Amino acid sequence: MTGAEPERQRSWNTAMVRPAEQFSFYREAICQAFMNLTPEPARGTGFAAEVQHIGLGSGAINRVTFPEHIVRRSRTDIAASDQRCFYLNLKLAGRCTILQDEHEVSLSAGQVGIFDSDRTFELRHDRGPALGVISFRVPADALFARRPAVPEIVPTRLSDDPCLGALIVETARSLNANALRLAPGDATALFDVLLDLVALSVSRGGRREAHATASFADATTLALRRAIHERLREPGLTVAAIASAVGISERYVHKLLARAGTSFSELVIARRLDGVARDLRDPACAGRDIGRIAFDWGFSDLSHFTRRFKQRFGTRPRDWRAQSGSG
């Protein structure tokens, strides 16, 4: 096991053991990261796989890469587990077929599906020598508390939901990418947003009407912030460009950001200033001109940049750099 924060993060890599022992090592790893499972032994002696586990409050993210194989959850496995949960899987590479009860759901790269740990299942991981999945462990109580009572949650490809599917995928991707960058409380809060969206999608079932909910707005705001982050260095970045990237109206962009207590211009400037501040403290940028760094982050007026930098950080850019010993 490795990781700077052992309580939050653990990892296993079969490269640590001899080829003849790799599959057994993998089986033990996924049982620790997930719960009792019965993978079917792979053909041959080698099994190149890696498992990363990140705690999220009472839930978790499990990142797994592996070759083709089958994983089952038997009645014996279920009896040996003390907590019911659901697995929310974001497929990264290859294909996975989920078989549970009379249901069969296939996931390809970029698709998200959910299934129940409290009923036997079979996962067929195939279509490629190197496969990958991000699997969110969702405590059953956390999901049941968020949705109206329904008879059961059957295996479902949530990414197909016409209203919420793209938001679920976007939120899952963002949580996976930022789980260790965020403070534990913030990561858990983002996980809660994901659970709200999943619960709403499951509750909607086959209905097609849109639901104006706080969760929907939170996830759309997340997509909005991510779009801004990805285009932050573009000079003259506009509300229209971001609205088009997210697929919403300019008016809704302003509404969502006002709901979050900010505005488009203030958010863009704040994130650009944060980027400049990081670069000024980065030894790799020690030889770069401050004005060039500011231009690279989308600023076009150096006097305006310097004034806003001092407002945000309480000191001029060159003094900020000097404090770190980088200039």
Return the pLDDT at 57. 84
- Give the CATH number, domain containing residue 43: 2.60.120.10
DSSP code per residue over 37-82: -EEPPPSSS----EEEEEEETTEEEEEEEE-SEEEEE-HHHHHT-S
Residue length, the chain?
327
Return the pLDDT at 95. 85
- Cα distance between residue 129 and residue 173, in whole Å: 23
- Cα distance between residue 34 and residue 71, in whole Å: 12
The DSSP 8-state label assigned to residue 4 in this structure reads: S
Residue 277 backbone dihedrals phi, psi, to 5 degrees: -60, -40
Question: Are both 151 and 16 inside the same structural domain?
Answer: yes
* Mean pLDDT value of segment 223-236: 88
Question: Are both 117 and 152 inside the same structural domain?
Answer: yes
Give the burial string for 231-246 (b: 16+ CB within 10 Å, else e): ebeeeebebeebbeeb
Paired with 56 in beta bridges are: 59
The encoded tokens of residue 180 equal 């260790």
- Cα distance between residue 234 and residue 299, in whole Å: 9
Question: Are both 41 and 78 inside the same structural domain?
Answer: yes
- Cα distance between residue 231 and residue 240, in whole Å: 13
Q: What percent of the chain has pLDDT over 90?
A: 46
Question: Are both 138 and 19 inside the same structural domain?
Answer: yes
User: How many distinct structural domains can be found in the chain?
Assistant: 3
Return the pLDDT at 211. 43
pLDDT-based confidence at residue 195 (cuts at 50, 70, 90): very high
Return the pLDDT at 149. 60
Question: Are both 113 and 227 inside the same structural domain?
Answer: no
Give yes or no for a contact between 29 and 20, defined as CB atoms under 8 angstroms apart: no
Return the pLDDT at 266. 93
Q: What percent of the chain has pLDDT over 70?
A: 91
- Cα distance between residue 130 and residue 133, in whole Å: 11
Return the pLDDT at 176. 92
Question: Is the per-residue pLDDT at 250 higher than 70?
Answer: yes
pLDDT-based confidence at residue 83 (cuts at 50, 70, 90): confident
Specify the residue for token string 């944060």. Answer: 274
**277 domain-assigned:** yes
Summarised one tens digit per residue, pLDDT across range 116-166 is 999 999 999 886 667 889 999 999 988 888 876 655 788 999 998 888 888
- Cα distance between residue 14 and residue 48, in whole Å: 6
Return the pLDDT at 181. 87
pLDDT-based confidence at residue 205 (cuts at 50, 70, 90): low
Torsion of CA 24, 25, 28, 30, to 10 degrees: -110
Hey, is 189 helix, strand or coil? helix
- Cα distance between residue 105 and residue 113, in whole Å: 8
Return the pLDDT at 265. 94
The rounded mean pLDDT for the chain is 86
Question: Are both 225 and 246 inside the same structural domain?
Answer: yes
Question: Are both 134 and 240 inside the same structural domain?
Answer: no
Higher pLDDT pick, 215 / 209? 215
Q: Among residues 160, 192, 158, which one has the least CA distance to residue 175?
A: 192
Question: Are both 239 and 131 inside the same structural domain?
Answer: no
Question: Is the per-residue pLDDT at 7 higher than 80?
Answer: no
**178 domain-assigned:** no
Question: Is the per-residue pLDDT at 226 higher than 80?
Answer: yes
H-assigned helices in the chain: 22-33, 75-79, 140-144, 165-178, 184-204, 214-230, 239-246, 250-259, 264-281, 290-296, 302-313, 317-324
CB atoms < 10 A from the CB of 111, how many? 19
Summarised one tens digit per residue, pLDDT across range 290-326 is 999 999 999 999 999 999 999 999 999 999 998 866 5
Full domain range(s) for residue 32: 9-157
Question: Is the per-residue pLDDT at 109 higher than 90?
Answer: no
Question: Is the per-residue pLDDT at 88 higher than 60?
Answer: yes
pLDDT-based confidence at residue 2 (cuts at 50, 70, 90): very low
pLDDT-based confidence at residue 46 (cuts at 50, 70, 90): confident
Return the pLDDT at 223. 82
Please name the residues in contact with 55: beta carbons below 8 A apart, sequence gap of 6 or more. 7, 8, 9
Question: Is the per-residue pLDDT at 93 higher than 90?
Answer: no
Question: Are both 235 and 307 inside the same structural domain?
Answer: no
**1 domain-assigned:** no
